[in-house]
Amino acid sequence: MRLAMLTPAPDYGVPHDWAFDVQADALRDAGADVTAVPWTNAENLDSFDLILPLVTWGYHLKHEQWLAFLDRLETERLPVANPPAMLRWNSDKAYLAELGRKGVPVVPTLEVDHLNEAALAAAAGVLGADELVVKPPVSASAWGTFRLHGQDSVPMEVHGRRMLIQPYVESVTTSGEYSLILFGGELSHTVAKLPKNGDFRVQPEWGGTNGAVEAPAGALEIANAALAEAPGKATYARVDLLVGNDGDLQIIELELIEPALFLHCAPHAKPRFAEAVLSTAKRASEQPLADR
């Protein structure tokens, strides 16, 4: 099988080998031929059995170009895992409010078209929480994310922008976030992510740490309920949950585009990942072009 793994634009400026190599090696160990292709310059993709957007870092900084690229993948009926409709849906965190309306437990999320001090204060009242987190609906690695109080000034970086507002969840600094990683719809392994002391961001870029754990009771059922609402079937998925301020598990994010999959955290993770990807590639190769 010939696989294209999409990577950042050449000028993105952040090393990505650590993410690409572990995933590509897992696929190569299973017999696949893996080629790195920058997503911003992916001209010739029709010779691949499957396209994997697993390292499309920076798509949030070139969102219009990203959406146009997804349109092209659909128009040309190219085999992609995960499917373009799912990638488009997952690109904007407005899906959190959509999941909440459908009864999936998520961190309460409000959207404002233009964030300012009045909007922040109003959100604090609606959410019943003075301590808040604001984040762009299109973002990655906690980019543009701030922890604020309802009476604070809005940072200039996000002032006037379309933003999401959520209550600050206390458990992020104690139990942290739980990441359930699923391949082919089956749970592979679970990781707990914790921020460094004095921070609330769990990403490694901000000093966060992680380690393998057992999935909390009920977490898989919530993850499956969320994924059932996504457009299409996920070959790979990461569902991030935490214990909400009400004591129940809540989804904080679905990662269906370019998630860290923590393949090093479980001995069976790499072959399970490879099996799911190659199964998708095989199905795609057997599917008539008109039906893709």
How many Å apart are CA 52 and CA 79, to the nearest integer?
9
**What is the domain-level CATH number for residue 181?**
3.30.470.20
Q: Quote the pLDDT of residue 175.
A: 87
Look at residue 144 and tell me if it is in a domain: yes
Residues 67 and 6 in one domain: yes
How many Å apart are CA 147 and CA 112, to the nearest integer?
16
Crossing angle between the packed helical segments 269-286 and 17-29, to the nearest 10 degrees: 70
Last residue of a domain, one of 168, 183, 205: 168
How many Å apart are CA 110 and CA 160, to the nearest integer?
15
**pLDDT tens digit at each of 292 positions of the chain:** 999 999 999 999 888 998 999 999 999 999 999 999 999 999 889 999 999 999 999 999 999 999 999 999 999 999 999 999 999 999 999 999 999 999 999 999 999 999 999 999 999 999 999 899 999 999 876 678 899 999 999 999 999 999 999 999 998 888 889 999 999 999 999 999 888 787 777 777 766 777 889 999 999 999 999 999 999 999 999 999 999 999 999 999 999 999 999 999 998 999 999 999 999 999 998 876 545 5
217 CB neighbour count, 10 Å cutoff: 8
Residues 163 and 175 in one domain: no
Q: Which SS3 state, helix, strand or coil, does residue 281 take?
A: helix
How many Å apart are CA 197 and CA 88, to the nearest integer?
35
Residues 176 and 247 in one domain: yes
Q: Quote the pLDDT of residue 199.
A: 72
Written as one letter, the residue type at 20 is: F
Residues 250 and 274 in one domain: no
pTM of the complete model: 0.93
Of 169, 164, 146, the C-alpha closest to 110 is: 164
Look at residue 163 and tell me if it is in a domain: yes
Tokens representing 208 are 């966060």
**What is the domain-level CATH number for residue 81?**
3.40.50
Look at residue 262 and tell me if it is in a domain: no
CA gyration radius, the chain: 19
Look at residue 45 and tell me if it is in a domain: yes
Q: Quote the pLDDT of residue 32.
A: 98
DSSP 87: H
Q: Quote the pLDDT of residue 62.
A: 94
Residues 10 and 128 in one domain: no
The residue segments making up the domain with residue 117 are 110-168
Residues 42 and 145 in one domain: no
Last residue of a domain, one of 168, 185, 209: 168
Residues 75 and 18 in one domain: yes
Number of domains in the chain: 3
Q: Quote the pLDDT of residue 291.
A: 56
Q: Concatenate the DSSP letters of all residues of 35-63 into one string.
A: EEEEGGG----TT-SEEE-TT-TTGGGSH
Residues 138 and 274 in one domain: no
Look at residue 39 and tell me if it is in a domain: yes
Q: Quote the pLDDT of residue 212.
A: 87
Residues 99 and 226 in one domain: yes
How many Å apart are CA 177 and CA 79, to the nearest integer?
32
